[in-house]
Amino acid sequence: LKGPWFVSNMSLLYTSDPQNVQYVLTKNFANFGKGPEFKKIFEPLGNGIFVAENELWENQRKTAKSFM
């Protein structure tokens, strides 16, 4: 499912297929950036795991994964 998000004109890509989720989150994360609109909307959350990108996100993900 792809389409605009209710809060802005951002286009989002939704998936619930486990293989797609694994691909996006572990193998090809760099190609699915959040973009400036997302960062603007979620700026109050700081650089938490849901907002962070690239190396910062990878470090936070590894830390979170260690608690699972």
Domain limits at 39? Answer: 2-66
Mean pLDDT of the chain: 80
Q: How many domains does the chain have?
A: 1
Query: What pLDDT digit, counting tens, does each position of 36-59 carry?
Result: 887 888 888 888 877 888 888 888
Question: Mean pLDDT throughout 4-10?
Answer: 66
- Model confidence at 17: pLDDT above 90: yes
pTM flag (> 0.95)? no
Q: What is the amino acid identity at position 60? A: Q
CA distance 1 to 30: 20
pLDDT of residue 18: 94
pLDDT of residue 19: 94
**Residue 47 in tokens:** 């650089």
With left for phi above 0 and alpha for psi between -120 and 50, is residue 2 left, alpha or beta? beta
Distances (CA, A) of 20 to 17, 24, 31, 39, 41: 5, 6, 13, 23, 25
